[in-house]
A and B are shown apart, each in its own frame.
Chain A
Amino acid sequence: MNTRALLLHEWDFGLVVPIVCVLAFVAYRVRFGRLLQRRAGFFGIAVALFFIALASPIGVLARGTLFSAHMLQHLLLMLAVPPLALLGLPREPLDPPSFRLDRDRGALGYVAPWLGGVGAMWIWHARPLCNAAAVSTTVQTFQTVSLVALGLAFWSPILSPRRAARMAPFPAILYLFAACIACTILGIMVTLSPVEVCSAYLHPVDSLGVLALLRDGWGLSCREDQEIGGLLMWVPACFVYAASILGTLARYYGEEHVSPRAVGAPR
């Protein structure tokens, strides 16, 4: 098999993933009326990335063949799909104008989603869980659901459509920066660890017949595969957090331009 054949033919559509994607669109249409609006674009990209993460060769290779594909899948499911989906929801129009800490949520309301999001990333890389997810479809399904769900929980204090549910800008920056550090540490450990994080990827069952391509064609040994996985977690993941920190700041500085009218100051 060559790279072209891998990319073109190794798609595993299954039944569940397309159904979930279609249902997501239907639910969006029913709840928010129109599919042809600017916000819906984000939602569409989120669904498309969800589909790609699970049904494309990334998803196929992630099932016990290639560790870096598995890591890419995690990143898509946690750091791309949930924030884009939240961005895709229409903002609630009647928000109060000021940025205030949501009193209902309380500190625990921020600590819990943070721990959930960051914890999911860490726990699924504990060796027994990582191996189980690599070989068992049931565990993998559970993993996918948990990553997307905890990802949504993690991102909602930042990107929730309800302004009142979002964090104040500076706590939000700390929240994201701390997540970036936690992700970086995991990335460093995976990259530099002399032992295999997931031993399942050491000797994959080569049902697809791609191993020759990966090992010889792409020149990826197990060690290098894990290194790439760790680096994906380390560098690009931090770019996502850095981008959302900038987005939060942009929103913060943008606030000043709306506030005079909102508080009824003379023009």
Chain B
Amino acid sequence: MTIASPGLAELPQSLAHETERGPFGWVATVDHKRIGILYLLTSLAFFLVGGVEALLIRIQLARPNAHFLSPDAYNQIFTMHGTTMIFLVVMPTLVGLSNYLVPLMIGARDMAFPRLNALGYWLFLFGSLLLHFSLLAGGAPSAGWFGYAPLSETPYSSTPGTDYWIVALLVLGIGSVSGAINLIATVITLRTPGLSIRRLPLFVWMTFVTAILIILALPVLNAALAMLFIDRRLNAHFFEATGGGSAILWQHFFWTFGHPEVYIMALPAFGMISEVIPVFSRKPIFGYEFVAASTVAIAVLSFGVWAHHMFAVGLGHRADMAFAIGSMAIAVPTGVKIFNWIATMWGGTLRFTTAMMFATAFLLEFVVGGLSGITFAAAPIDWQVTDTYYLVAHFHYVLFGGTAFAIFAGIYYWFPKMTGRMLDERWGRAHFWLTVLGFNLTFFVQHFLGIMGMPRRVFTYPDLPGWGALNMASTVGAFIMAASVVVFGANLAISRFRGKVAGHNPWDAWTLEWATTSPPPPHNFDRVALVRSRRPLWELAHPASPTAAASMAERLPPAKTVVAVWAFIVSETAFFIVLILSYVFFNLSTAASAAALDAKTTAVFTVCLLASSVTLYVAEKSLERGRIVAFRIWLVSTFLLGMIFMGGQGIEYTTLFHRGFTVDSSLFASSFFTLTGFHGLHVTLGLIALGILSALAFADDFGGKSLRALRAVGLYWHFVDAVWVVVFSIVYLRTVL
């Protein structure tokens, strides 16, 4: 089953070693491989839905002045197409692949938190069903996948579609963050001995960096969505200029999330390309360090350049210039990768399997998308072509020509591992050529349409010279792509049952997932050989010519709960930064808050909350020293102090309500209640956790696992208190200083 070699490492038992058969086995599964496949199948289903939506759009646009779709239906369909493809297809496909592959590639038996992993999938499924439920409840959302305010505000989108969109995205966002936290904890704590970060397969490294992007970027969207929801349901005015809010603020928040999101969708694709190209070039990746480090550079820069999505907003020439430079800078690390992939192929023994053909086509298509992206970084060009089909062409070259091609390469590469059978190469070639032809026909012509001035997001267009012909060509291309998807689907279905049997390692690849059977057993590996290089299976096959041997002293990994709580704290920090910045933005003058708030009373309750951090620390120390009675007393005191703080907040809220301050009464009130309300919610969650711990502390002896749980809850509790220190200083102290 696994390759025998000296220095085998025993693995910890996984939760999934007993698998239920039948449908219930799939519903109840916590096996990362089954969850990965559920993700992949669900996103394949939504790929078909999003594809049909795309065909409807293209039929409507095939001829000028057409009335196949009404303007409103068109708006709903392009909104659903964008939202579906990004949140229900690309992201879950990448999550599915990383779910399936990361534990195998690092020689682990499962993810760090298998049940959390299952929760992430079900959140994704029900979030996406919620989004589609809007069709039964008065119409789909129609404000675009970016939900620009004020269009997404109640006066302009009065149907509940946008509300479903918000709630669905919140659910999906929470699912993504939980998945990312799980992945971070998995990669940090469950790597097999010898597999240092330096030797990680690039796919694992890039999904790891992506997970960090997710925990930082998704909470920004979540906070903004919460504010938009408060606007819509509770009549606040965060993003509505008529009530004093700022529509531009929505764009800032959305693109603070939205630009890293581009790399959340691109980096795992880069990772897959970095696995496929070396294997089919029969060479180690050229410049591993550069590919790995440029990933970090992209991730860091991606947070600093969102304003290039807003050149047309009127931020001013200086801001435009700064962001143009920043955006162009991202092309450097991306270009580094492209050259590394080319150099890997250079002089290699190339094997053009379907996977390799998709990977090679990826290089070409992605470069086209990347180059048109650089043209957008120049603000004057952006002004000319923003919101035209040139932009539509650009991001489809990035997301389809880039990410989707890489996903196809990855599916052809890993399908044998997942099913034990090879995908058919002849069907694969037909799929490849139809995709290349259809894709380029659909989107390349859109560059010209954009330069001719055809606006996007408009349901039809006048009969100007050339527009009709180019649009018809684009529509024909879309149908060729649809045909390619049919071929792909047929290939998947037929090969699943009739494909050639794959064996352990059909591609002669080097990473650990190929060291076990195809498909792997529920527990993945019996034993894993000590990893000595970046290509462990190459070492085993060619002991005489190692890639690069080195042995580093290993350090024990940190506890997985601690890693997970820290990752959670990072994501919560991003969430609160957005709420705090909105509060500051709407309360530059302290006049409104000074009139409403009583800093002295709140200071007393603040002291209680801070004291609770101290008592919890003492409780933890008492438990470590085995003084169980002291531990119980301090833990209960923590709980009570937290309750007192919440009581204080309750009194404060009641007083404010009586004085006429409600969430819709002014921007001060909206931002105040949102910020302190979300903090109160976090305290409440902490209290629930403390309550459970207290109950456990009195029920039985408290050790081992429970001590780790106490540490995790403790970290979270201290974080909530630290947030309050900032909130108290900004909201209350400013009124008296």
Q: Which residues of A does B touch, CB under 8 Å?
A: 98, 170, 173, 177, 180-181, 184-185, 188-189, 191, 193-195, 224, 227-228, 231, 234-235, 238-239, 241-242, 245-246, 249-250, 252-253, 255-256, 259-260, 263, 265
Listed by A's residue number, 9 A-B pairs whose Cβ atoms lie within 8 Å are A98-B553, A185-B577, A231-B319, A238-B326, A249-B296, A256-B198, A256-B548, A260-B550, A263-B551
- Chain B binding surface, main DSSP class: helix
Does B86 touch A at the CB level, under 8 Å? Answer: no
When C-beta atoms are compared, the residue in chain B nearest to A223 turns out to be: B316
Q: Is the CB of A242 within 8 A of B297?
A: yes
Cβ–Cβ < 8 Å partners of A180 in chain B: 300, 303-304
A72 CB, min distance to chain B CBs, angstroms: 13
When C-beta atoms are compared, the residue in chain A nearest to B552 turns out to be: A259
Q: Is the CB of A259 within 8 A of B550?
A: yes
Q: Is the CB of A238 within 8 A of B548?
A: no
Cβ–Cβ < 8 Å partners of A185 in chain B: 577, 581
Q: Is the CB of B549 within 8 A of A260?
A: yes
| Complex Cα–Cα for A263 and B294 (A) | 29
Cβ–Cβ < 8 Å partners of B390 in chain A: none
| Complex Cα–Cα for A227 and B315 (A) | 10
Cβ–Cβ < 8 Å partners of A98 in chain B: 552-553
A251 CB, min distance to chain B CBs, angstroms: 11
| Complex Cα–Cα for A75 and B545 (A) | 50
B650 CB, min distance to chain A CBs, angstroms: 31
Q: A191-B319, A231-B318, A242-B301 in contact; A253/B293 too (CB < 8 A)?
A: yes
Q: Is the CB of A228 within 8 A of B318?
A: yes
B548 CB, min distance to chain A CBs, angstroms: 7
Most chain-A Cβ atoms within 10 A of its Cβ — which of B303, B322, B549? B322
Q: A245-B296, A253-B292 in contact; A235/B304 too (CB < 8 A)?
A: yes
A145 CB, min distance to chain B CBs, angstroms: 26
Cβ–Cβ < 8 Å partners of A234 in chain B: 304, 322
A222 CB, min distance to chain B CBs, angstroms: 13
Cβ–Cβ < 8 Å partners of B297 in chain A: 242, 245-246
Q: Chain B contact residues (Cβ within 8 angstroms of A): what range?
A: 20 to 34
Does B329 touch A at the CB level, under 8 Å? Answer: yes
User: B299-320, CB under 8 A of A: which get 1 and which 0?
Assistant: 0110110000000000010110
Q: A249-B292, A250-B293 in contact; A238/B304 too (CB < 8 A)?
A: yes
Nearest 6 pairs between A and B by C-beta? Answer: A253-B289, A231-B322, A249-B293, A235-B322, A242-B300, A238-B304
| Complex Cα–Cα for A255 and B197 (A) | 12
Cβ–Cβ < 8 Å partners of A242 in chain B: 297, 300-301
Cβ–Cβ < 8 Å partners of A252 in chain B: 197-198
Q: Is the CB of B548 within 8 A of A227?
A: no
Does B584 touch A at the CB level, under 8 Å? Answer: yes
Inter-chain pairs besides A235-B304, A249-B292, A265-B550, 10 sampled, C-beta below 8 Å? A98-B553, A231-B319, A231-B322, A235-B322, A238-B301, A242-B301, A246-B293, A253-B288, A255-B198, A256-B552
B151 CB, min distance to chain A CBs, angstroms: 22
A178 CB, min distance to chain B CBs, angstroms: 9
Does B325 touch A at the CB level, under 8 Å? Answer: yes
Cβ–Cβ < 8 Å partners of A227 in chain B: 316, 318-319
When C-beta atoms are compared, the residue in chain B nearest to A68 turns out to be: B318
Q: A185-B581, A235-B304 in contact; A265/B549 too (CB < 8 A)?
A: yes
Most chain-B Cβ atoms within 10 A of its Cβ — which of A181, A194, A231, A239? A231
Q: A194-B588, A224-B318, A228-B318 in contact; A253/B303 too (CB < 8 A)?
A: no
Cβ–Cβ < 8 Å partners of B293 in chain A: 246, 249-250, 253
When C-beta atoms are compared, the residue in chain B nearest to A183 turns out to be: B304
Does B323 touch A at the CB level, under 8 Å? Answer: yes
| Complex Cα–Cα for A96 and B185 (A) | 29
Cβ–Cβ < 8 Å partners of A184 in chain B: 303-304
B349 CB, min distance to chain A CBs, angstroms: 27
Q: A185-B581, A249-B293 in contact; A241/B553 too (CB < 8 A)?
A: no
Q: Is the CB of A189 within 8 A of B584?
A: yes
Option from B288, B323, B553 in Cβ contact (under 8 Å) with A235: B323
| Complex Cα–Cα for A185 and B581 (A) | 9
B395 CB, min distance to chain A CBs, angstroms: 23
Within B220-278, which residues are at the interface with A (CB < 8 Å)? none
